[in-house]
């Protein structure tokens, strides 16, 4: 069991403490995300989903306009930005003080969403690999950056699961190189995501989770995104819509290993896991 370490991040000039685990609620403004019940496209549906996430206790809303599901249709930059802009606008109309994260690997889109539309955080599944301008853009924008680990693209990643020194050691080492580069550019607020389900086999995902405490060597907030993923439903022989219980089990394990942010479809269940784990470990108060 890992002791919870408090971090601070800068949200538009306001220093915000992560003094207990946060819950990031997923708002997919897409027609084809892997979990069908998370797809939200109409304006009222987006507003309703926003209210639900916040009522259940979300600390951040993460808006995605491009499905990273293998085999999903390609989305043009114009279409992705249109979806994200609309999502940001509706979230802000519904709850103006909400911390908004933008799930995109495209630097130009990230820049527009931050500067023109008022998003607060960039969440990049590729850690800068799919757009060479992303790290420079993050440095220029001075916003928190969620850097996820992945090899290849969503369509090729599951053929790129070779880790010569072991998945945990290699993922930490690869993230460490990128952290050094970001630091050299002046980026201060980095959040690390090991990338569960991205270029990892089921066995490697569980090895990573079991070794999650080793990521604290990076001395950065740690985000875990395992909600309803294949490491759960394929292992159990079920479907994503039946994977909430497994998600809660793994989220609890992540919390016991010191996770700082849980990225989830089901906020209420995650908040309960945070509260119960806090009472159990006495590592933090909710």
List, by residue number, the catalytic residues.
229, 263
Which residue spans within the chain are E strands per DSSP? 7-11, 14-18, 22-28, 60-64, 99-103, 121-124, 145-148, 190-193, 223-224, 261-264
Give the residue from 161, 248, 246, 145 showing the smallest Cα distance to 205.
Answer: 161
User: At 277, is the secondary structure helix, strand, or coil?
Assistant: helix
Distance of CA 79 to the CA centre of its chain: 21
DSSP assignments along 206-241, one per residue? HHHHHTGGGGGGG-S-BEE--TT-HHHHHHHT--GG
Strands 22-28 and 60-64: parallel
Give the residue from 44, 49, 134 showing the smallest Cα distance to 98.
Answer: 49
């Amino acid at each position: 069991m890992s002791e919870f370490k408090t971090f601070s991040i800068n949200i538009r000039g306001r220093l915000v403490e992560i003094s207990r685990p946060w819950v990031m609620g997923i708002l997919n403004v897409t027609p084809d995300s892997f979990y069908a019940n998370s797809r939200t496209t109409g304006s009222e549906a987006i507003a309703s989903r926003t209210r639900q996430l916040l009522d259940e206790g979300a600390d951040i809303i993460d808006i995605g306009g491009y499905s990273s599901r293998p085999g999903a249709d390609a989305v043009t930059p114009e279409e992705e930005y249109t979806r994200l802009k609309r999502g940001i606008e509706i979230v802000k109309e519904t709850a103006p003080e909400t911390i908004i994260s933008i799930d995109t690997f495209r630097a130009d889109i990230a820049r527009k969403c931050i500067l023109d539309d008022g998003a607060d955080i960039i969440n990049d599944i590729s850690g800068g690999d799919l757009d060479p301008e992303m790290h420079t853009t993050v440095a220029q924008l001075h916003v928190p950056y969620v850097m996820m680990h992945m090899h290849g693209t969503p369509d090729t990643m599951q053929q790129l699961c070779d880790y010569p020194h072991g998945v945990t050691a290699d993922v930490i080492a690869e993230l460490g190189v990128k952290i050094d580069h970001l630091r050299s550019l002046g980026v201060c607020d980095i959040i690390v995501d090991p990338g569960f389900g991205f270029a990892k086999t089921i066995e490697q995902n569980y090895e990573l989770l079991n070794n999650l405490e080793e990521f604290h060597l990076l001395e950065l907030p740690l985000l875990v995104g395992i909600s309803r993923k294949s490491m759960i439903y394929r292992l159990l022989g079920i479907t994503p819509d039946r994977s909430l219980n497994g998600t809660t089990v793994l989220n609890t394990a992540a919390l016991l290993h010191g996770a700082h942010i849980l990225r989830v479809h089901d906020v209420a269940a995650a908040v309960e896991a945070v509260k119960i784990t806090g009472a159990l470990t006495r590592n933090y108060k909710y």
